[in-house]
Amino acid sequence: MSSRKKNILKVIILGDSGVGKTSLMHRYVNDKYSQQYKATIGADFLTKEVNIDSDKVATMQVWDTAGQERFQSLGVAFYRGADCCVLVYDVTNTKSFQNIKSWRDEFLVHANVSTPETFPFVLLGNKIDADDSKKVVSNKAAQELAASLGNIPVFFTSAKTAINVDTAFQEIARSALQQNQNDADAFEDDFNDAINIQLDNDTNSCSC
């Protein structure tokens, strides 16, 4: 009998409209890429079974959320229960890079995570297949931002050519699994504390 434990991991992808969130999700889950762009309304998700560190199996739910302002309020309802948040910017779009911290802050406000200071984020600089003349965000700037956000991992990806996509999502899966286990351990500790408190109360209230 296999000793590998299955886990369900919820991953949220955030970033401005047009940075390639949907394309990254489809490239990772289905290994497909489309040149046609269609804005996400609210949120959508795909699932993929992943092997982590050779001894763990997880089903990853990758949630793609709307980047357009008029749809953002629809997406926040899906933040809760996330195990990892992926922040995506377009290396050819300065504004999308400047908005990363705002996306992170919004997630923390709406996701109601128990330990915001340790919650796992991963930063992706997408569209590195673009001509160098079009790239406006340097790798150094991205690494400095990642350091300022708590030394979070950063990857430079291309949904179009699949560069670093699998590598990035392996780290995302690893981070999500760790968070998932931390939450489970915290729940178990809280549950045991509650049981012990109840037992103490029952013992102290005994009139025999």
Q: Which residue has the higher pLDDT, 1 or 163?
A: 163
Query: By percentage, how much of the chain surpasses pLDDT 90?
Result: 58
Is the confidence at residue 164, as pLDDT, over 90?
yes
pLDDT for the residue numbered 2: 42
Integer Cα distance of 45 and 108 in angstroms:
20
Find out whether 115 and 187 touch, Cβ atoms under 8 Å.
Answer: no
Find out whether 128 and 91 touch, Cβ atoms under 8 Å.
Answer: yes
Task: Write the pLDDT tens digit of every residue in 26-42.
Answer: 999 999 987 765 555 55
CA distances 33 to 30, 86, 110, Å, are: 9, 19, 31
pLDDT for the residue numbered 35: 73
Strand 56-65 to 121-126 pairing: unpaired
